[in-house]
Amino acid sequence: MANPVVAIVGRPNVGKSTIFNRILGERLAIVEDTPGVTRDRLYGMGEWLDRSFHLIDTGGIGFGEEDHFMALVRHQAELAVDEADVIIFVVDGTTGITAEDQEVSKMLFRSKKPVILAVNKIDNPQRLNDIYEFYSLGFEHVIPVSGAHAIGIGDLLEEAAHYFPEELDEEYDEDIIRVSLIGRPNVGKSSLVNAILGEERVIVSDIAGTTRDAIDTPFTFQDQEFVLIDTAGMRKKGKVYESTEKYSVMRALRAIERSDVCLVVIDGEQGIIEQDKKVAGYAHESGRGVVIVVNKWDAVVKDDKTMQEFVELIRTEFKYLSYAPILFVSAKTKQRVQMILPKVHEVAEQHSMRIQTPVLNDLIQEAITVTPPPSDKGRRLKISYSTQVSVKPPTFVLFVNDVELMHFSYRRHLENKIREAFPFEGTPIRILVRNKSE
């Protein structure tokens, strides 16, 4: 099931990014005492008790002097609110209610979403009385917090968690392969869906961002059941959205979470841009199987070296996806489209592959014998036991004498040895290291 979404909103300079960083436990957002520093939505994964959730940090919503920048920030925040299951509305307890706070509250009431009002900068008991005037904004849940001092953050998350959707069983059987098409706008994802299905199941348009939400299309191919999840194109941060567009990156992230395999669609005519790498990174970080699909190959002026040069470019620009197969297709002419589903099926099988423990241990011990781990101050890493603990993606645990001795380069060496023995094409694999005493 897709994780719930929490959006943090409020006027500029009330401490939204500080609270965002505090919840995530890391400094993903720039924090500076200047209004408007957080210009775009930022995304992160948070966790409260046994529930994971997406967290969105937004730029400050300004309703004063109208300019292009503030209009963009406000629209970005409105999109975040549209995506959210619950909203954390941050105000500044040291300044009291402002006209901008009142305007933000009106916008939030119109959204009809659950809202938790976080009165920030209440960093000592003497300031607790400052929160009461904020009840006049009309929200039921008003919680004093201090993002800078980590006060009240647990109470804030506890209240927000009450509005998380209930965890439901998977809507599709385990043996159904779920495939999402992801990529920036106008690379031809909807056209690919139609080409794969052989019929006009999804509206196709030359206007970037035509697909507003994820669309599920169940079908059967060669006795295997699939579900195609078409998503709206992921937009580059900072680009102005059409006023009617309700889609954003978060919905694509939710589609990725529901997938077994992601088709990362690239525009072969335009080539690779930075946003392509970010889109692919979401799938990789989520542990999904990946097939890179270069679309519009019919429109590329090419010679006998063009395809190989493009492959080399992909391998250079997507170093973290060295395991992903690459297909060159044309949704328009149907060129090589028939190769997509068989490749997806192969990747799905690799994504759920399990290696027997004795075989894995023999493989790891052989790798250690041929290339022993480097020593560190006279101490050498010893791997006493290895086992695979899960699939989708294949995940391995190595029990060692001291986790501090496992250098990332040697972990990569072991991953390469595993891939040499077993294909794992199209799937990331994860190697976890634990002390033997654990």
Residue type, 180: S
372 by Cβ neighbours in 10 Å (0-12 / 13-18 / 19+) ranks as: exposed
76, 43 in Cβ contact below 8 A?
no
- Return the sign of the alpha-carbon dihedral for residues 3, 291, 393, 282: negative
Domain with residues 5-161, CATH architecture:
3-Layer(aba) Sandwich (3.40)
Q: In angstroms, rounded to a whole number, what is the distance separating the alpha carbons of residues 4 and 359?
A: 39
Whether residue 239 has pLDDT greater than 50: no
Give the pLDDT confidence of 16-28 residue by residue, as tens digits: 989 998 998 855 4
Specify the residue for token string 């889609």: 247
* Per-residue pLDDT, 401: 93
Residue type, 228: L
Greater confidence (227 vs 342) lies with: 342
Residue type, 149: H
Question: Three-state DSSP class for 71?
Answer: helix
Q: In angstroms, rounded to a whole number, what is the distance separating the alpha carbons of residues 115 and 98?
A: 18
CATH superfamily of 177-351: P-loop containing nucleotide triphosphate hydrolases (3.40.50.300)
* Per-residue pLDDT, 70: 54
133, 97 in Cβ contact below 8 A?
yes
**Which of 24-28, 251-255, 400-404 is predicted with the least confidence, judged by mean pLDDT?**
24-28
Specify the residue for token string 């020593």: 375
* Per-residue pLDDT, 207: 44
Show Cβ contacts of residue 290 under 8 Å, excluding neighbours closer than 6 positions.
261, 262, 264, 280, 283, 284, 321, 323, 324, 347, 426, 427, 428
What is the domain partition of the chain in residue ranges?
Answer: 5-161, 177-351, 357-435
Specify the residue for token string 């890391």: 26
Query: What mean pLDDT, rounded, does the chain reach?
Result: 83
**Which of 98-102, 246-250, 341-345, 399-403 is predicted with the least confidence, judged by mean pLDDT?**
246-250
Q: How confident is the model at residue 44 (pLDDT cuts 50, 70, 90)?
A: confident
Domains 5-161 and 177-351 share a fold: yes
Q: How confident is the model at residue 170 (pLDDT cuts 50, 70, 90)?
A: low
Q: How confident is the model at residue 247 (pLDDT cuts 50, 70, 90)?
A: very low
Show Cβ contacts of residue 285 under 8 Å, excluding neighbours closer than 6 positions.
none
Both structure tokens of 110: 């119109």
Q: What does the pLDDT average to over 404-418? A: 94
Pairing mode, strands 395-400 and 430-435: parallel
Whether residue 436 has pLDDT greater than 50: yes
**Which of 189-203, 259-273, 349-363 is predicted with the least confidence, judged by mean pLDDT?**
189-203
* Per-residue pLDDT, 215: 61
Give the pLDDT confidence of 258-269 residue by residue, as tens digits: 899 999 999 999
* Per-residue pLDDT, 72: 54
- Return the sign of the alpha-carbon dihedral for residues 37, 40, 41, 43: negative
Sheet strand arrangement including 86-92: 42-48, 51-57, 5-9, 86-92, 115-120, 141-144
Q: What does the pLDDT average to over 391-418? A: 95
Whether residue 320 has pLDDT greater than 80: yes
Predicted TM-score (pTM) above 0.95: no
Q: In angstroms, rounded to a whole number, what is the distance separating the alpha carbons of residues 71 and 394?
A: 45
Which of 271-275, 371-375, 426-430 has the largest mean confidence? 426-430
Domain with residues 357-435, CATH architecture:
2-Layer Sandwich (3.30)
* Per-residue pLDDT, 208: 46
| Residue 321: other Cβ atoms inside 10 A | 22
Greater confidence (287 vs 68) lies with: 287
Q: What does the pLDDT average to over 23-35? A: 55
Q: How confident is the model at residue 233 (pLDDT cuts 50, 70, 90)?
A: very low
Pairing mode, strands 383-390 and 395-400: antiparallel
Question: CA-CA-CA-CA torsion for 285, 291, 296, 302, nearest 10 degrees?
Answer: 110
Give the pLDDT confidence of 68-115 residue by residue, as tens digits: 545 655 666 676 677 789 999 999 999 999 988 898 888 889 889 999
Show Cβ contacts of residue 188 under 8 Å, excluding neighbours closer than 6 positions.
265, 267, 295, 296, 331, 332
* Per-residue pLDDT, 31: 45
E-only strand ranges, 212-254:
215-221, 224-230
Q: How confident is the model at residue 213 (pLDDT cuts 50, 70, 90)?
A: very low
Q: How confident is the model at residue 313 (pLDDT cuts 50, 70, 90)?
A: very high
